[in-house]
């Protein structure tokens, strides 16, 4: 395996970012200082490790893993056990970033006690520092209850993918005066209930800017324009690994699909042509063992030649 273990006692990541753990107060301070928060989804050890070492401030084990990792049509199918599995893998990789885990559809809807139980598992068994839930004012009592149970909650409003059926698709929200007023009321209620940050997804830039200016906690935007306190992207969007046409906001920083496809085709061709592995990529017997075996072979040949 070429991914090395964490070097002991190193004071900065491979990108030269000092390893000072990103905490909730640190995110609040970044908002106060007007310092943008970088966030990204993360689902496994190797990519989470790269993101952490690159200095991304917040990693979210998003329920988008249902789609981009597990191949489901939407985010609804992922289970608490699957979220635990991926959060544990990410936790093993992350030293600096704040680690947030999504609560999947159905894990916080039936009752407050069940929500607290599931969130506690993500924190206790998988090492998340906070959990994220979708929904506005109607989640405020739950955010309060979880906060009272010492669970840090990131809220998520606007385009909430777990409501895909109610929204009839992934549509930009907050385009009318009433809808804008609702979003403001959502943000105010969630902050008052104790949310430590609010994800704003799929809303007009102007509305996100207003909410950000009024909010006492950091806003993290996705498809919400550049005026939020931070930005989050789905890892697979950033690397063109989604096999679908990108949303307007999903800037592709690298063509991972082309990169992987080219390498995979070369590997396939090398195997077909027997040029992989080479002799240098093979293990060899020591000279001593080779000589012993050659001598043994020689004796066998002599014996065979002497037989009638």
Residues annotated as catalytic are 201
Question: What CA–CA distance (Å, rounded) separates 251 from 239?
Answer: 9
With beta carbons less than 8 A apart as the criterion, state whether 250 and 40 touch.
Answer: no
- Restricting to residues 226-245, which ones interact with ligand KIV according to CB under 6 A? 232, 234
- Restricting to residues 238-277, which ones interact with ligand KIV according to CB under 6 A? none
* Residue 231 in tokens: 């930005």
Question: What CA–CA distance (Å, rounded) separates 29 from 76?
Answer: 34
Kindly state the smallest distance separating residue 221's Cβ from ligand KIV, in Å. 9
Cα 49 from chain centre: 10
Question: What CA–CA distance (Å, rounded) separates 286 from 19?
Answer: 44
End-to-end CA distance of the chain: 54
Interface with ligand KIV by CB under 6 A: which range of 55-63, 104-112, 170-178, 205-213?
A: 55-63
With beta carbons less than 8 A apart as the criterion, state whether 84 and 103 touch.
Answer: no
Nearer to ligand KIV, 10 or 172 (CB): 172
Kindly state the smallest distance separating residue 127's Cβ from ligand KIV, in Å. 18
Query: How many residues sit in the footprint of ligand KIV (CB under 6 A)?
Result: 12
When binding is defined by CB under 6 A, the residue of 102, 191, 229, 237 that contacts ligand KIV is: 102
Kindly state the smallest distance separating residue 2's Cβ from ligand KIV, in Å. 28
Nearest to 22 by CA among 220, 168, 215, 206: 220
**Is residue 159 at the binding interface for ligand KIV, with CB under 6 A as the rule?**
no
* Residue 142 in tokens: 């739950």
Going from the C-alpha of 2 to that of each of 5, 46, 271, the distances in angstroms are 9, 10, 21
Kindly state the smallest distance separating residue 203's Cβ from ligand KIV, in Å. 13
When binding is defined by CB under 6 A, the residue of 63, 191, 229, 237 that contacts ligand KIV is: 63
When binding is defined by CB under 6 A, the residue of 22, 31, 38, 41 that contacts ligand KIV is: 41
List interacting residues with ligand KIV (CB under 6 A). Answer: 41, 60, 62-64, 102, 156, 199, 201, 222, 232, 234
């Amino acid at each position: 395996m070429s991914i090395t273990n964490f070097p002991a006692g190193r004071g900065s990541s491979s990108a030269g970012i000092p390893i000072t753990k990103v905490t909730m107060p640190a995110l609040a301070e970044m908002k106060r200082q007007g310092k943008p928060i970088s966030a990204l989804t993360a689902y496994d050890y190797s990519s989470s490790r790269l993101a952490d070492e690159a200095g991304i401030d917040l990693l979210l084990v998003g329920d988008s893993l249902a789609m981009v990792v597990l191949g489901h049509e939407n985010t609804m199918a992922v289970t608490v056990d699957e979220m635990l599995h991926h959060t544990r893998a990410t936790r093993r990789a992350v030293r600096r970033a704040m680690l947030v885990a999504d609560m999947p559809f159905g894990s916080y809807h039936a009752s407050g006690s069940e929500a607290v139980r599931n969130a506690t598992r993500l924190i206790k068994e998988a090492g998340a520092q906070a959990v994220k839930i979708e929904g506005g004012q109607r989640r405020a009592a739950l955010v309060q209850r979880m906060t009272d149970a010492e669970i840090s909650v990131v809220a998520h409003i606007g385009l909430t993918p777990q409501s895909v059926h109610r929204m009839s698709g992934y549509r930009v929200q907050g385009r009318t005066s009433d809808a804008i007023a609702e979003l403001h009321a959502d943000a105010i209620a969630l902050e008052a209930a104790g949310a430590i940050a609010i994800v704003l997804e799929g809303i007009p830039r102007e509305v996100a800017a207003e909410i950000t200016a009024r909010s006492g906690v950091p806003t993290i935007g996705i498809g919400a324009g550049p005026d939020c306190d931070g930005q989050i992207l789905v890892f697979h969007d950033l690397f063109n690994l989604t096999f679908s046409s990108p949303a307007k906001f999903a800037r592709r920083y690298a063509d991972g699909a082309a990169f992987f496809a080219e390498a995979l085709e070369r590997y396939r061709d090398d195997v077909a042509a027997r040029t992989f592995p080479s002799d240098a990529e093979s293990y060899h017997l020591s000279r001593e063992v080779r000589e012993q075996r050659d001598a043994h072979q020689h004796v066998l040949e002599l014996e065979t030649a002497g037989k009638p």
